[in-house]
Amino acid sequence: MPLEAMQRQEPIVSESLHMSPDEFRAHAHRVVDWMCDYFANVEQYPVRSVCRPGEIAAAVPDEPPQNGDSFDAIMSDLDRVIMPGVTHWQHPSFFAYFPANSSPPSVLAEMITSALAVNCMLWVTSPAGTELETRVLGWLARMIGLPASWQGVIQDTASSASLCAILCARERFSDFAVNERGFAGGDKAGRMTVYTSDQAHSSIEKGAKIAGIGRENVRVVPTDQNYAMDVDALREMIEADRHKGMSPIAVVATVGTTSSTAIDPLRPIGEVARQHNLWFHIDAALAGTAAILPEFRWLHEGVELADSYCFNPHKWMLTNFDCSAMYCHDADVLKRTFSIQPEYLRTDAGGVIDYRDWGVALGRRFRALKLWVVIRSYGVEGIRRYIRHHIDLAQEFAGWINEDPAFELLAPHPLNTVCFRWIADGSLPDDQLNAANKKLLDAINDTGEQFLTHTKLSGRYTIRMAVGQTRTLRRHVEAAWENIQRLAAGLA
């Protein structure tokens, strides 16, 4: 077609459909100021949103707008409609769950990631995405003392990493027969069992369900008085299952359980796994970060016996969600478990990694960039100072609990999380204490000054104090303790 004919038609959409470059620049600078104001003022918000169910939804129209609004109007609605419904994970008095870390360098990196907006599914779709991911996961492996031969990949969450590990176990055990013919089609599919402790994260059960293994084939191994896996019980359960004709395929150990940061003994578990040829996965979602400290490297004693391992820089290493670092002793099993090669994804690039074969999702954000920027910005020493700071604060908090006869510690507190309850004068039965501590936790959270969450340990309602927010200083932990003491005194 001659060029003149092509040029007859005007552009169908002029560039005016989009915000102009100048408008974007002005709005983006304004958003930066909004972000800075947010960080400066975050302590003025109640940590946990005080809105009631349905309140935010009621302020958003049923119908989408037919025509575009100005960005000013949207920012105004952000403040008016959305912000009252935000629970402030970046508030320095956020002590709930485990933290969702972020940091100034991580936010800056996320800005760049969103501008580049590349899809890192294949090497060719952004070589830097792939190669930087390999490189920074190598950095992380060195930082926490993983074997140099292991290969890493960024998953979205530790839940997905657990699922990947269970699928690897299933496929290695069945010689990839379940992938090929399904459970119903293979002699070796059998009745598979997976072992993990009664303190393990719910994602292990979820993964076993997704993988077709089933909840009742997840063997819940009892824990000792420290909430760490009882390895003798593990061994007996595996042997009993073998005796019954079951097929044990995997054991999942936890370094830093969600309830109390209990630490399963990796070496003896790994030895049992080797003996019985089980896939050995380690879920160190929170606590892996602590192994960056030389004085906490013992957390990983025996890690070299594992087949796969996962920890979340997005929890306690200054990196925005989502960023879960997963490692495999033999990444070929992972790749073979997930690899599919349709024509439209075939490339000529040889000898490169295509990370889409390393997990569930095909598309992938350029998540390595924020890890690179965070590690470059803080350096290993800066990250160590940061982690030590939280651990020291948590230890100090535990000391206060310990010295106050109206409170008791309910679990060891090796890291940044302290499990405790109010016990009044020590004379009340557990059921009354459970109710009282629930009331106490609600009272703390209702003040809006802190946000803590709970768990149950040995049937006792347990308040958890997880110190891991990026901006938490000593004064925030002190204020929490004062508030807890004051509200507990009111209960008595």
By CB under 8 A, the residues from 219 to 278 that bind its own copies are 258-259
Tell me, by CB under 8 A, how many residues bind its own copies.
193
By CB under 8 A, tell whether 56 contacts its own copies. Answer: yes
- The correct pick among 4, 44, 64, 187 for binding its own copies (CB under 8 A) is 64
Spatial separation of the C-alpha atoms in residues 110 and 371, rounded to whole Å: 10
CB 454 within 8 A of CB 434: no
- The correct pick among 72, 175, 180, 446 for binding its own copies (CB under 8 A) is 180
DSSP state of 225: T
Instruction: Give the distance from CA 113 to its chain's centroid.
Output: 20
Judged by CB, which is closer to its own copies: 222, or 399? 399
Residue 70 dihedral angles phi and psi, to the nearest 5°: -70, 155
- The correct pick among 76, 114, 275, 458 for binding its own copies (CB under 8 A) is 114
Q: Which single residue is written with the structure tokens 């990444």?
A: 331
What's the sign of the alpha-carbon dihedral 394, 397, 402, 403?
positive
By CB under 8 A, tell whether 215 contacts its own copies. Answer: yes
Spatial separation of the C-alpha atoms in residues 94 and 42, rounded to whole Å: 11
Task: For residue 111, give every residue at least 6 positions away whose Cβ sits within 8 Å of its Cβ, in sequence order, or none.
Answer: none
Spatial separation of the C-alpha atoms in residues 131 and 151, rounded to whole Å: 12
Contact map string, positions 347 to 386, toward its own copies, x by CB under 8 A: -xxxxx-------xxxx-x---x--xx-xxxxxxxx--xx
By CB under 8 A, tell whether 297 contacts its own copies. Answer: no
Spatial separation of the C-alpha atoms in residues 112 and 90, rounded to whole Å: 21
Task: For residue 88, give every residue at least 6 positions away whose Cβ sits within 8 Å of its Cβ, in sequence order, or none.
Answer: 42, 45, 46, 47, 48, 49, 94, 451
Please give the residues from 124 up to 153 whose contact with its own copies meets the rule CB under 8 A.
124-129, 131-132, 134-136, 138-140, 142-143
- The correct pick among 271, 322, 330, 449 for binding its own copies (CB under 8 A) is 322
Q: Measured from the CB of residue 422, what is the shortest distance to its own copies in angstroms?
A: 15
Please give the residues from 426 up to 465 whose contact with its own copies meets the rule CB under 8 A.
442, 453-456, 464
- The correct pick among 43, 224, 301, 396 for binding its own copies (CB under 8 A) is 396
- The correct pick among 4, 9, 295, 492 for binding its own copies (CB under 8 A) is 9
Judged by CB, which is closer to its own copies: 86, or 269? 86
Q: Measured from the CB of residue 150, what is the shortest distance to its own copies in angstroms?
A: 15
Task: For residue 268, give every residue at least 6 positions away whose Cβ sits within 8 Å of its Cβ, in sequence order, or none.
Answer: 231, 302
**Which span (202-210, 224-232, 233-241, 425-433) binds its own copies, by CB under 8 A?**
202-210
